[in-house]
Amino acid sequence: MASVASLRQWLFRFGRDEQSPIVLTQRRIFILPTPTGLLFAILLCVMLLGAINYNLSLGHALVFLLAGLGVVAMLHTFRNLIALRLTPGRAEPVFAGEIAHFQMYLENTHRQPRRALALAFGEHASVSVDVAAGGQALVAIPCPAPRRGRLEPGRITLTTRYPLGLFRAWSYPHPALSCLVYPQPLEAPLPPPAAVTHTGQRHGDNGQEDFTGLRLRQSNDSPRHIAWKAVARDAEHRPLLIKQFAGGVAEELWFDLSLVPGLGLETQLSILAGWVITAEAVQIRYGLRLPGREVRPDQGNAHCDACLEALALYGE
């Protein structure tokens, strides 16, 4: 078994490609006839036997012409992959149960375009792309993300049957690709303040008692704090302004794994993920406590991503 594994490792290059870009050399490209190609070869043999039996000169010429066409097609199929450069891109985080898309840049350094390239992870759905002569192309390869954690899709199957479909050439590049898979959020109302592990009150600029002025609206500001009267005076040219207060109190929520006891770990993490998304949507400062990990209360897209990342990687 060890010798078979070593043979597969040497033959198909199943190891990860640490260097970038990945260049497809002759050793990394494999080619075999397709079912259509096998049928084409059988047909040529039958035609050759008929030409020999009936001593048909034109029959011999036709057989050799078609055979030469097949050889040329094999050469062009192989050249459609040779020296192609692959550079891995980034992958956006997704929630469990969704489809992750891994970016891959394809660079063609030759003067001939690369046609009908198909890329897929294993047996999953493939995407097709053409790369112009001396150009580049960006393709997003889909991969299911059934579970939370860090998803590593593995090797890519890059295939082509161009130009006639008589041969299939393929390669197995294995770039360093990964993405975060967040727990699938479960819709659940935020726990009441009495049920959270800590409800803090802080004094500062986000209070609701004394009006202190206006400032430009930011992307994470709540629409209910917009100074509509000030904007209405010059709605066409004035930017959206936010009312600022001081001297009040603002609530902070802590989300803890112990708040959802008696459930499976994945369900607990999914509920916490739902709370994080809900708290971010209603602009409440929130923190996250997990065994061995704590994210201090804050709000904003970066804070939301940090909490979801902590949930995704919990236990790994």
Do 79 and 163 share a domain, yes or no?
yes
Domain stop point among 154, 182, 210: 182
At 293, which helix (H) or strand (E)?
strand 293-298
Segment among 18-32, 47-61, 250-264 with least mean pLDDT: 250-264
Which whole number is the average pLDDT over 95-115? 95
Do 42 and 127 share a domain, yes or no?
yes
Do 61 and 170 share a domain, yes or no?
yes
Q: Is the dihedral of CA 255, 259, 260, 262 positive or negative?
A: positive
Range of the domain at 293: 193-312
For residue 18, name the pLDDT band (cuts at 50, 70, 90).
Answer: confident
For residue 200, name the pLDDT band (cuts at 50, 70, 90).
Answer: very low
Which whole number is the average pLDDT over 148-170? 95
pLDDT for 225-237, tens place per residue?
666 655 565 555 5
Specify the pLDDT at position 261. 78
Number of domains in the chain: 2
Do 174 and 211 share a domain, yes or no?
no
Q: Is residue 85's pLDDT more than 50?
A: yes
Cis status, amide bond into 163, omega within 30 of 0: yes
What does the angle CA 18 – CA 105 – CA 87 come to, to the nearest 5 degrees?
A: 15
- 268 close to 257: Cβ distance less than 8 angstroms: yes
